[in-house]
Structure 1
Amino acid sequence: MKLTKSIKVAFVAVAASSLVIAGTTTGAAAPKKLKSIRVAAVVKGLDNPFFIGIKEGIEETALKYGVYANVQAAPGLNDDIGQANKLDSLAGQNYDCYIVIPISSNNLSQAIGKITKKKKTVINIDSPVDAASLKASGGKITSFAGTDNFAAGKAGGAKMVAAIGSGKKIGLIAGLAGNVTSNARVDGFKAGAAGATFVGPVNADWDTTKALDAANAMIAANKDLDGFFAANDQMAQGVGKAIKAAGLKIPVYGVDGIADALNEVKAGSITATISQYPYVMGQMGVEACIIAAQGGKVPAQTITPYYIIDNSNITAALTNKSTRGFFPNQTPPGAYTNPYTKLIKK
């Protein structure tokens, strides 16, 4: 299931909700009791703490309901082949439902096709699977839960323009080339900051050091840069180092809301992060699996919340510490909709 730019969710900087799109009824298999449900998940590499947050959400939600969950991670953040091999191995095992987050938009499609042929449920969270490759493999996604990355980027672009003014020059640092999540965030930012002059985007592969190098090169070639947008927080950290080394005082925005980035917002080395809530995505993934295993109607798509965190609300963002320390906030500070919980039969 692929998110498109037509999915627009109205958010303000410190308030968010979730969008729910009509659901899918699962197959005719006999409904299962909670303690007999088996869930497998394949997430991106745990070298990015964002995906540790998702892992936490999956494991703790499974524990809450008494279902079994096996969470496997890609060997590295950019190891799409290693991740595909993990899911391919799990596809041959006895699970009722699979939760997936592809590294590239299509690297898991073949394995999803195998799972679908076994009439098992696949739930896609965070990064959408490419619709064309999914169709070619015969795969099916029952439900998607994740951020509208275009809308999140657009909100960041509008926020930066409100701070620095229109018609300014802004550097763009992207993730992996061709990555659907990175593209949506960058395209959204450009839409929100319409009228600005953009330098880049330059791909830094989600990596702090590569982003530092890319930002250094941009600054050297463009002495009049007025700001930076990076498609994730780890790259924003690299940009922040480049800005400091150059003696500049210009804003840098990232995306994700990882703990280190929030601390850097507090310290002033990053201006803002568009904070997502990976724990919530993991929670929704497990709950969608439970609904499917119980024979219920699973919402086909849920847009999860985000908040722009800057110096106006960073103290509140850092207040509610995660039980295991990876994320200051497991859930958003305001109200949001989770359509899955109420559909579970206890």
Structure 2
Amino acid sequence: MICGLPQWHIAYGEAMAEPGRVPALTRAAVVLQAIGDTGRPITLAELTELTGFPKSSVMGICHALTDESLLARGADGTYVLGSRLFELASTARAQSWPIYDIGFSYPVAESFFVAEVEALHSEADRLGARLHVHAAKEDKANQSRQILEFVSAGVDLILIEPVATEGLEAACARARAARIPVVALGSAVSGADAVVATDNTKAGFLAGSALAAALDGRGRVAVVGGIPITANSDRIAGFLAAISPHPRIEVVATSYGELDAQSGRRAAKEILAAHAVVDGFFAANDQIAIGISRVLRSRRLLVPIVGVDGARGAVEEIRAGGPIIATATQDPAALVRAAMNIGVALHSGARVARPSRYLTPRLIDVHNAARYEPWG
């Protein structure tokens, strides 16, 4: 058995015949499992290849599941899991091992984290649970203390948007000793039981590729990072990997700070003061990018900026013609749902097959920004 489904002959393909089984229902379950395991929008052709079913059968199953809101079909023809499936999953969670209290510690009231808090309130309401939220103010000691407070209060599940990758191990160990799962959200953290994040390396790569194309493979660029978490370092690594095939692109400055627009403004001023020519900026998140943009616009500098998040402010600038020209997306609501699914499973004592889950980003630029619905 795999995830409660029979073993398939080829990939997800045909199930071994069993008396009393309904073939159409079995195939529908296989299609849903394939889409869930992929973790991204998937085309009909990909589903046909993954399942081994005839294309006409896959098409009919997808149409039927879409009609029931078990799947959702995008404008580009790809399929994702539908809203009704999430509602059923939430109901199943609530009926099995009830969760009464959820603790969430996050770095600062930056727009992305605020969107996560809003999504968590919705998830908590659906479960009939109480949500306890604390901002760590980008301080590792604060966050460690907040985790310990959650443990002392006897919450059922702890979620953290870490302010640092290292340094929370002792607090996480106390939670584990109390049998309270700790799920890291947005970035990996040493000591957590699971992590749900965007594929940040790919996000940085997408943004870097967009900047390299905008600069026609040449120019002096600056990198502005955020707090010391793996999400930021992975984004920078992805960016550097994207520009590495372009020897005429030179990184002339690298700056680190916080995760807000003020940090971006400060970094931009310092970099422009130290370097007479900067042809492009990479920002570790969209709020930093917005701060950089404000400085460039005040100086009437036509310098492209790329970032990560898919936030409304950045997308509006892309639609308006810059200076932000591209952003790699994150989905705070989807991250929260996935983290809650894993957290509730861990709370129930279940073994989670994939305790580390990374959601696939996509690039938003002038070509598709009008069709993209940003968060925030």
**How far 1:34 moved relative to its partner?**
4.4
Q: In the alignment, does 2:272 pair up with 1:219? A: yes
1:84 to 129, 144, 159: 144
5+ long unaligned stretches in structure 2: 1-38, 42-74, 81-92
Once the two structures are superposed, residues 303-346 of structure 1 have per-residue CA deviations (whole angstroms, 9 ceiling, x without a partner) of: 1132221221112223x7xxxxxx25xxxxxxxxxxxxxxxxxx
CA distance in structure 2 between the aligned counterparts of 1:106 and 1:127, rounded to whole angstroms: 11
1:66-91 residue CA offsets vs partner (Å, 9 max, x unmatched): 24142413142x23322222211011
Using the TM superposition, give the Cα deviation of residue 114 of structure 1 relative to its aligned residue in structure 2, in angstroms.
0.2
Which residue of 1 is the match for residue 324 of structure 2?
270
- 1:36-75 correspondence runs (5 A): 36-64=98-126, 66-75=127-136
1:94: which partner in 2?
Answer: 154
- Structure with greater contact order relative to length (CA < 8 Å, sep ≥ 6): 1
**Where in structure 1 are there 5+ consecutive unaligned residues?**
1-8, 19-30, 135-140, 321-326, 329-346
Q: Which amino acid aligns with 2:278?
A: L
8 Å CA contact 2:286, 2:314 repeated in 1? yes
Greater shift, 144-153 or 240-249, is seen at 240-249
Please provide the CA RMSD for this pair. Answer: 2.8
Q: Does 1:115 align with 2:175?
A: yes
Q: Measured at CA, do residues 42 and 169 of structure 1 come closer, stay the same or move farther in structure 2, by a change above 3 Å?
A: same
User: Is 1:233 the equivalent of 2:293?
Assistant: no
Q: How far has the Cα of 1:157 moved from its partner?
A: 0.8
Query: Normalised by the size of structure 1, how large is the TM-score?
Result: 0.75
Q: Which has the larger radius of gyration?
A: 2
Contact in 1 for aligned 2:105/2:136 (Cα 8 Å) = no
Length, aligned pairs only: 287
**TM-score when normalising by structure 2:** 0.69
Match of 2:224 in 1: 173
1:113: how far off? 0.7
Aligned counterpart for 1:153 among listed residues 204, 207, 216: 204
Q: 1: distance between equivalents of 2:276 and 2:337?
A: 45
Structure number with the higher helix fraction is: 2
1:237 touches 1:261 (CA, 8 Å); kept in 2?
Answer: yes
Residue 32 and residue 156 in structure 1: after superposition, are their counterparts in 2 closer, same or farther (change >3 A)? closer
Q: CA deviation at 1:215?
A: 1.3
Q: Distance in 2 between matches of 1:89 and 1:243?
A: 43
* CA distance in structure 2 between the partners assigned to 1:121 and 1:242 by the alignment: 43
Paired residues for 1:1-346 under 5 Å: 33-34=95-96, 36-64=98-126, 66-76=127-137, 78-130=138-190, 134=191, 141-176=192-227, 178-194=228-244, 195=247, 196-267=249-320, 268-298=322-352, 299-318=354-373, 327=375
- Alpha-carbon separation, structure 1, partners of 2:132 and 2:271: 39
Quote the sequence identity (%): 23
